[in-house]
Amino acid sequence: MNKAIAIVNLIAILFFLDNFNSHAQNLSNNADSLDRKWWKEAIVYQIYPRSFKDSDGDGVGDLKGIISKLDYIKSLGINAIWLNPIYSSPNDDNGYDVSDYRNIMKDFGTMADFDSLLSGMHQRGIKFVMDLVVNHSSDEHDWFKQSRSSRTNPYRDYYHWWNAEDGKPPYRYSLFDVNNDAWMYDSTTNAYYLHYFSRKQPDLNWENPKLREEVYNIMKFWADKGVDGFRLDAFGFAAKDTTFPQFPKGFEKHFSLYYSMQGNLHGYLQQMNKEVLSKYDVMSVAEGTGNTLEDAHNMVDANRHELNMAYPFEGIDLAKPEGYELIHFKEVFSKWDSTFEQSGWLGVFLANHDQARMVSRFGNDSPAFREHSSEMLTTFVLTMRGTPFYYNGDELGMTNIRFNKIEDYRDVQTLNAYQHEKNIGGDTIAYIKRKAFESRDNGRTPFQWDNITNAGFTTGTPWIKANPNYTTINEKQQDKDPNSILNYFKKIVQLRKNNLVLVYGKYTLLDKDNPDAYAYTRELNGAKFLIMLNFRSKTSTVNIVFDLSKAKLLSDNYTAHSTGNVLQPYEAVVYQLQ
């Protein structure tokens, strides 16, 4: 054997041993006691289809656009996708107002496009989680058209009506209505209909068994097509006391207490489980968790046969324009972890389509710190117990666009609340300032593929402006740079995928009173990982007892690593302790 071949062989042996070691570690992590499920081990990448990639130049993202980017998505290493709604819709609320649950929105393409998207995902080993919007439909859905046509129509009871001759209905708060009034008068039948969201999103009547049957059939239609899961939009609000009692004055300040987890909601979930979920290998996650930890737990306790995963908002709601307290942030995430330590399962996230950008809310999007703080937050999401839900564009460190005039906004919530502010003579300037931090449109600007016009998202005029920083923040440039946020994301995804300890391992908070850094361990069957995250733009010291000289550094978002327990600004390190 000549020298060159010997070296190649040696490299091959070392490579084999390295793989063998990580395989062995996986096996050692793989205790029989683990209730392993694909959806617990999944890393869910959320795609906002309207803003991801436009294939036909109409300025709106579409399914063919997503298909054209499947190899990119696969290259991230993620193994599940949650798509925001893609059903037919007049788009009052970007698809959250469905007019036909068995068809695809025209802007997005056709059912044939959907079928190829789904098979393209499956070929790449990626599961598909579908958004199911059944607390309400569109007012343009045939059910509603029938329902509003006469008081005796068979679809009348698919929605909630209050006859006007009985006087004004007891006040209900609407999240998106210009007047915040959830009852809309409809002269056709001289009655009011209920809409917790916009006027074009009438609430469905879950107390009607026929409606429930319709929804289960819709779910079966998609499950038979091969979708792998459902995310239940606003489902906590679905059950209602249809006698519509008066709520106390000012209830709207805590409307969730009156809207969420009411009546027979758990009964409906159990029925849905029996009729649909239990019959397929699908995962299920509801938006929100009710009002108490017990509500959340009850929804996902496997023995109750309801849903698989809770998706709590308490953590994501902490970010405010004036900042947030890290100690509180740690308390909240630790509390949710412990709630599901013994049973049930959790989703972990710091962003979605209803929020402004992760780095702008929880990190620091100034040029000096954007990259490190994005990576640090990403490390957090991917090293906690629970299934990570990661929002598209965060892997590039996309930032808030901070529109300074109302005309730039597209979101029904932002626009209607502005109108409301104006109607009551409120401070619209302060409103616009606040929205620059918190409007959902910050998270909905086009995905930044390239440094060409409109970030390479469309050849036409985008439905919402692209963030001008696409010239420097874009996928093409980051793909080439081994130290980019994008390439960091890919590495940390692999770290989670290769180490079950990061999925199932026990979480223990360390140095809990440290106001600047977040540190914790994850432990499973002898494997012990230490994660240390600096949430500040200055050096921070973590108070820990481990001897790091013997630990193995698995990941660091700085190329010049820190030593020991002193972290550089927004540094994120993962060690394996010996």
Question: Where along the sequence are the contacts to ligand NOJ (CB under 6 A)?
Answer: 93, 96, 133, 197, 233-234, 287, 353-354
Which helix H or strand E contains 519, and what residues bound it? strand 517-524
Please state, in angstroms and rounded to a whole number, the distance separating the CA atoms of residues 107 and 98.
Answer: 13
Tokens of 323: 């900042």
The distance of closest approach from Cβ of residue 170 to ligand NOJ in the complex, given in angstroms and rounded to an integer, is 22
Please state, in angstroms and rounded to a whole number, the distance separating the CA atoms of residues 317 and 202.
Answer: 26
Q: Say whether 287 is catalytic.
A: yes
Please state, in angstroms and rounded to a whole number, the distance separating the CA atoms of residues 527 and 48.
Answer: 37
Name every residue whose Cβ is closer than 8 Å to that of residue 16 and which is 6 or more positions away in sequence.
none
Q: Residue 224: helix, strand or coil by DSSP?
A: helix
Instruction: Compare residues 214 and 354 and give the one whose CB is closer to ligand NOJ.
Output: 354
**Per-residue burial over 326-354, b = 16 or more CB atoms within 10 Å of its CB, e = otherwise:** beebbbbbbebbebbeeebbbbbbbbbbb
The distance of closest approach from Cβ of residue 85 to ligand NOJ in the complex, given in angstroms and rounded to an integer, is 8
The distance of closest approach from Cβ of residue 93 to ligand NOJ in the complex, given in angstroms and rounded to an integer, is 5
The distance of closest approach from Cβ of residue 354 to ligand NOJ in the complex, given in angstroms and rounded to an integer, is 5
The distance of closest approach from Cβ of residue 570 to ligand NOJ in the complex, given in angstroms and rounded to an integer, is 29
Count Cα neighbours of 468 within 13 Å in the Cβ-side half-sphere.
2
Instruction: Compare residues 114 and 197 and give the one whose CB is closer to ligand NOJ.
Output: 197
Instruction: Compare residues 287 and 516 and give the one whose CB is closer to ligand NOJ.
Output: 287
- Residue 75 CA, distance from chain mean position: 20
Of the listed 97, 107, 203, 287, which one is catalytic? 287
Please count the residues of the chain.
578
**Beta carbons of 220 and 272 less than 8 angstroms apart:** no
Tokens of 531: 């994660």
Instruction: Compare residues 60 and 527 and give the one whose CB is closer to ligand NOJ.
Output: 60
Instruction: Compare residues 353 and 370 and give the one whose CB is closer to ligand NOJ.
Output: 353
The distance of closest approach from Cβ of residue 431 to ligand NOJ in the complex, given in angstroms and rounded to an integer, is 19
Q: How many CB atoms lie within 10 A of CB 488?
A: 25
Of the listed 97, 113, 177, 233, which one is catalytic? 233
Residue 222 DSSP label:
H
The distance of closest approach from Cβ of residue 174 to ligand NOJ in the complex, given in angstroms and rounded to an integer, is 11
Instruction: Compare residues 96 and 390 and give the one whose CB is closer to ligand NOJ.
Output: 96
317 burial level (CB within 10 Å; 0-12, 13-18, 19+) = exposed
In whole angstroms, how large is the CA radius of gyration of the chain? 25
Instruction: Compare residues 234 and 296 and give the one whose CB is closer to ligand NOJ.
Output: 234
**φ, ψ at 406 (rounded to 5°):** -60, -30
Residues with a known catalytic role: 233, 287
